[in-house]
């Protein structure tokens, strides 16, 4: 039974990220394995996790986490078999809060698939390219199927003349199909990678 974390990558007030994550859950539940209760999608919201800026004295690759907040974060991420990262594009990359959350850990990301749902003026694709290279360094396994939502075409706004007003995801039809492909690719790799993954220490 695979559990996939939908990691909410933006923490700012007024963010679209949580709305996008809720859309991922809503559409993802149509996947047969999720609908049947044979696999699970769960939100991990970095705004709720509320990590400080990286304050561990030893790099995460050594696995000697000192702070209770790091140990809690390690237990959360370590309990999942794969990830779908929901990320906006900030200055052609992904949010610093997400980089910080990745840097805190190492073994907990390793040999687990990472799928992506991005958004931005150009679908957030540049953020995902950066995210893929960073996740590879912590031994996660990026998958190539991806959802790229346009802030112009895949959202509707409380005030249509103001793209900073509260937004809901209205994703064009092909986006839901792409998301189900991300979920399927993630689940198949969860199963494959579980066969090679070393148990976490402790
Ligand atoms: C600091 C910052 C930088 C941004 N830079 C980009 C960018 O380089 N490319 C882009 O397409 N959108 C950019 N945007 C627009 C965001 O994609 C858009 O505001 C999105 O809603 C942000 O995600 P969030 O609401 O979940 O935080 C930027 C937004 C912020 C706040």
Tens of pLDDT along the chain (202 residues) come to 899 999 999 999 999 999 999 999 999 999 999 999 999 999 999 999 999 999 999 999 999 999 999 999 999 999 999 999 999 999 999 999 999 999 999 999 999 999 999 999 999 999 999 999 999 999 999 999 999 999 999 999 999 999 899 999 999 989 999 999 999 999 999 999 999 998 887 6
Phi-psi label, residue 50: left if phi above 0, alpha if psi -120 to 50, beta otherwise: left
- Write the residue with the smallest CA distance to atom 18 of ligand 1: 120
How far, in Å, is the centroid of ligand 1 from the Cα of 172?
A: 20
> Structural domain tally of the chain?
1
- Per-residue pLDDT, 99: 98
Nearest CA owner, ligand 1 atom 19:
120
The CB of 122 under 6 Å from ligand 1? The reply is: yes
Question: Which domain does 8 fall in, by range?
Answer: 2-193
Is the CB–ligand 1 distance for residue 88 below 6 Å? Answer: yes
Domain-embedded: residue 199: no
Residue 198 inside a domain? The answer is no
pTM of the predicted structure, to 2 decimals: 0.97
Distance 47 CA to ligand 1 centre (A): 17
Counting atoms of ligand 1 from 1, which one is nearest the CA of 11?
27
Q: Which helix (H) or strand (E) holds 104?
A: none
Q: Kindly report the number of other CB atoms within 10 A of residue 61's CB atom.
A: 13
Taking the centre of ligand 1 as the mean of its atom positions, its distance from the CA of residue 198, in whole angstroms, is 37
Q: Is 199 exposed, middle or buried (0-12, 13-18, 19+ CB in 10 A)?
A: exposed
pLDDT of residue 199: 85
pLDDT number for residue 86: 98
Q: Which of 20, 46, 88, 117 to mutate to test the pocket of ligand 1 (most atoms within 8 A of CB)?
A: 88
Q: Give the closest residue to 129 by CA, choosing from 83, 94, 98.
A: 94
Specify if 201 maps to a domain: no
In the reported structure, the alpha carbon of residue 80 is separated from the centroid of ligand 1 by a whole-number distance in angstroms of 28
Whether 200 is in a domain gets the answer no
Instruction: Report the C-alpha gap between 200 and 202 in whole angstroms.
Output: 6
Residue 189 resides in a domain: yes
120 lines ligand 1 (CB under 6 A): yes
For ligand 1, the distance from its centroid to the CA atom of residue 8, given in whole angstroms, is: 14
CATH for 166: 3.40.50.360
* Alpha-helical runs (H) found in 43-172: 46-49, 68-78, 96-103, 125-137
pLDDT at 202: 65
Classify residue 176: in a domain, yes or no.
Answer: yes
């Amino acid at each position: 039974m695979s559990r996939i974390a939908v990691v909410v990558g933006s923490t700012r007030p007024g963010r679209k990220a949580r709305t996008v994550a809720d859309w991922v859950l809503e559409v993802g539940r149509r996947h047969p394995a999720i609908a049947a209760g044979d696999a699970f999608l769960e939100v991990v919201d970095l705004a709720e996790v509320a990590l400080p800026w990286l304050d561990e004295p030893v790099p995460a690759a050594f696995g000697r986490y000192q702070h209770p907040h790091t140990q809690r974060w390690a237990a959360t991420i370590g309990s999942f078999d794969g990830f779908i990262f929901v990320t906006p594009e900030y200055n052609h990359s992904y949010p610093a809060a997400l980089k910080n959350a990745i840097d805190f850990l190492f073994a907990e990301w390793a040999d687990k698939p990472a799928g992506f749902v991005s958004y931005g003026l150009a679908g957030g694709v540049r953020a995902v390219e950066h995210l893929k290279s960073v996740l590879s360094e912590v031994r996660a396994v990026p998958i190539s199927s991806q959802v790229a939502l346009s802030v112009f075409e895949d959202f509707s706004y409380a005030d249509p003349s103001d793209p900073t007003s509260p937004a809901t995801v209205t994703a064009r039809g092909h986006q839901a199909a792409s998301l189900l492909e991300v979920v399927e690719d993630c689940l198949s790799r969860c199963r494959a990678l579980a066969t090679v993954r070393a148990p976490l220490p402790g």
